[in-house]
Amino acid sequence: MRLLVILDPLPLIKTYKDSTYAMMVEAAARGHELFVCEQHELALIGDRTLATARALRLTDTTGSSDDWYELGQPAREPLEAFGAVLMRKDPPFDMEYVYSTYLLENAVRQGAKVFNDPRAVRDHNEKLSIAEFMQFVAPTIVTRSADDLRAFVEEHDEAVFKLLNVMGGTSVFRAKRDDPNLSVIIETLNEFGGRSVMAQRYLPEIRDGDKRVLLIGGKVVPYCLARIPKAGEFRGNLAAGGRGVARELTARDREVGEALAPVLAARGLLLVGLDLIGDYITEINVTSPTCFQEIRQQTGYDVARLFIDALEAAVQSR
């Protein structure tokens, strides 16, 4: 199968921990041909979505070298010319990302097999999509109103504020009732009523980690990665200095995962990363979920193999 991966610039990929790299290593080991392009190399020409893609040959599959690939010459091809297309561009989910989902959706109409489904990605904001599953969610509001945000903090004593289109713990604030900077935090985030903000009740269970539970092809991966905040931090995100510890799922983790997995898979979301703190979902990640390598390195469970199995099955079924 010719497999096109849309991703961030290759020199930026940290192969020792990158999940997209793990996917490509497993796909290449099975004899699939790899091609890559960046988001800006997608274009609509006539009625076709085209990609300026390059063949990728992996020269190191151990994740231990900065010199790990060779690229072929660029060639522009319609996306349906590939056996499958993986959209693995990291957020922020800005308007350029939205435009890319429209281009990819057009490719699907022309016969391309795109994972995750671009319409489903666009429809599932990684913060707001938890609203569909409120039975698994701690108290949460989304609003532009400074008064609502302040009242939420006063009701719950502590809250976490976050924006709706960023990743990695960027612009996440822990707000306390008696914080003299509370008004400044709210004004900074909501831009004086011009931008929506999510507020969630602060969950002290974050000390035990922000758990990434992976759903692949409608199945729940039996291990999660608990991202434990570093000293003096409340954010567990690896990008914010958190430490990743792989663990078996708890009964509650599995209950939540099994409730959501078939629903999301039926919508074309082949790979989903649920974020749980304690017993509660805080986010549903559908753009470029990660943590494959950390789980494999610590438990021996090969998440990339499970993913490529699911990808091959999904391609055959379409």
Q: Is 296 one of the annotated active-site residues of the chain?
A: no
Considering the candidates 212, 237, 253, 296, report the single residue annotated as catalytic: 212
Q: Is 57 one of the annotated active-site residues of the chain?
A: no
Reply yes or no: is the peptide bond before residue 116 cis, omega within 30 of 0: yes
Q: Is 230 one of the annotated active-site residues of the chain?
A: no
Considering the candidates 210, 275, 294, 296, report the single residue annotated as catalytic: 275
Structure confidence by residue, pLDDT tens digits, 12-42 = 999 999 999 999 999 999 999 999 999 999 9
The pLDDT of residue 293? 97
Considering the candidates 18, 227, 253, 296, report the single residue annotated as catalytic: 227
Considering the candidates 117, 283, 294, 296, report the single residue annotated as catalytic: 283
Structure confidence by residue, pLDDT tens digits, 248-259 = 999 999 999 999
CA–CA dist 6, 21 (Å, integer): 12
Q: Is 305 one of the annotated active-site residues of the chain?
A: no
Q: Is 275 one of the annotated active-site residues of the chain?
A: yes
Going by C-beta distance under 8 Å and a sequence separation of 6 or more, which residues neighbour residue 244?
225, 226, 227, 228, 238, 291, 294
Domain ranges of the chain: 2-122, 139-202, 205-302
- Topology of domain 205-302 in CATH is D-amino Acid Aminotransferase; Chain A, domain 1 (3.30.470)
Q: Is 235 one of the annotated active-site residues of the chain?
A: yes
The pLDDT of residue 168? 61
Considering the candidates 89, 285, 294, 296, report the single residue annotated as catalytic: 285
Considering the candidates 235, 253, 294, 296, report the single residue annotated as catalytic: 235
CA–CA dist 274, 286 (Å, integer): 9
- What is the CATH architecture of 139-202? 2-Layer Sandwich (3.30)
Considering the candidates 54, 89, 113, 127, report the single residue annotated as catalytic: 127
Tell me if domain 2-122 and domain 205-302 are identical in fold: no
The pLDDT of residue 235? 66
Predicted TM-score of the model (pTM): 0.94
> Over its length of 318 residues, how does the chain's per-residue pLDDT go in tens digits?
999 999 999 999 999 999 999 999 999 999 999 999 999 999 999 999 999 999 999 999 999 998 999 999 999 999 999 999 999 999 888 899 999 999 999 999 999 999 999 999 999 999 999 999 999 999 999 999 999 999 999 999 999 999 988 766 677 999 999 999 999 999 999 999 999 999 999 999 999 999 999 999 999 999 999 999 887 677 666 766 789 999 999 999 999 999 999 999 999 999 999 999 999 999 999 999 999 999 999 999 999 999 999 999 999 998
Q: Is 181 one of the annotated active-site residues of the chain?
A: no
Pick the CATH number of 2-122 from 3.40.50.300, 3.40.640.10, 3.40.50.20, 3.10.20.30: 3.40.50.20
Write out the DSSP string of the chain: -EEEEE-S-GGG--TTT-HHHHHHHHHHHTTPEEEEE-GGGEEEETTEEEEEEEEEEES--SS--S--EEE---EEEEGGGSSEEEE-PPPP--HHHHHHHHHHHHHHHTT--EES-HHHHHH--TTGGGGGGGGGB-SEEEES-HHHHHHHHHHHSEEEEE-SS--TTTT-EEEETT-TTHHHHHHHHHTTTTS-EEEEE--GGGGG-EEEEEEETTEEEEEEEEEEPPTT-----GGGT-EEEEEEPPHHHHHHHHHHHHHHHHTT--EEEEEEETTEEEEEE-SS---HHHHHHHH---HHHHHHHHHHHHHHH-
Q: Is 283 one of the annotated active-site residues of the chain?
A: yes
Considering the candidates 88, 89, 162, 296, report the single residue annotated as catalytic: 162
